[in-house]
Amino acid sequence: MINKLTSLLKAATISLSDQQKNQLVGYVEMLHKWNKAYNLTSVRDPEQMLIRHIMDSIVVEPHLQGSRFIDVGTGPGLPGVPLAIVRPDAHFTLLDSLGKRIRFLKQVQHELKLVNIEPVQSRVEDFPAEPPFDGVISRAFASLNDMLNWCHHLPGEKGQFYALKGVVPDDELATLPAGFAVDRVVKLAVPQLEGERHLIVVNVTK
């Protein structure tokens, strides 16, 4: 698994320490183990998890600005856990409404000794952002419209929204709620992953 991850990282020109690689593989092993009972992801094969969960998450890291992030609808910790491993100096709140996912994330936090994640069980609209976040991240969480409407209270004055998408959702970009504007659309390259990946970055304008 370490060799497979190393070759994927090399293909993506991402440089990580041995400790970070071990943590990423450890996370995949936990995900694989817990998945049998908790059904955390539809991806069953650990090597596919490296591509479709780990690499798909960490290619976003260079585009994040700030040091306090919240991953809304994090599920089993995606993309928040891989991002927290590759950016240890930033803090990630992992928000999900399902207790079994938060129990899994607390075990991940304990076993991998991740001091920069905070798993929280809450509906996003009920969660107070004190203090506000530099970035609000979501992957396969909702439409852009829903994300902005439900999460509008989370970012600080210069905070941004980061939505991980497949193909560019032109219809969603054309109907953003008032008070928001697209900052940039970044095409992401994920080694060995079929299909397109894009990062949509949205600013608060009001």
0.75 exceeded by the pTM?
Answer: yes
**For residue 46, what are its two tokens?**
């650990």
pLDDT value for 65:
98
169 or 140: which carries more pLDDT confidence? Answer: 169
Residue 139 among known ligand-binding residues = yes
Domain ranges of the chain: 1-204
pLDDT, tens digit (0-9, with 9 covering 90-100), for 146-205: 999 999 999 999 999 999 999 999 999 999 999 999 999 999 999 999 999 999 999 999
- Using CA atoms, how far apart are residues 145 and 169, in angstroms rounded to an integer? 11
Backbone angles phi and psi of 106, in degrees to 5: -70, -35
pLDDT, tens digit (0-9, with 9 covering 90-100), for 102-117: 999 999 999 999 999 9
- Percent of the chain whose pLDDT exceeds 70: 100
Domain 1-204, classified CATH 3.40.225.10, yes or no: no
Residue 168 among known ligand-binding residues = no
**For residue 98, what are its two tokens?**
């399902």
Q: Is 117 exposed, middle or buried (0-12, 13-18, 19+ CB in 10 A)?
A: buried
Residue 167 among known ligand-binding residues = no
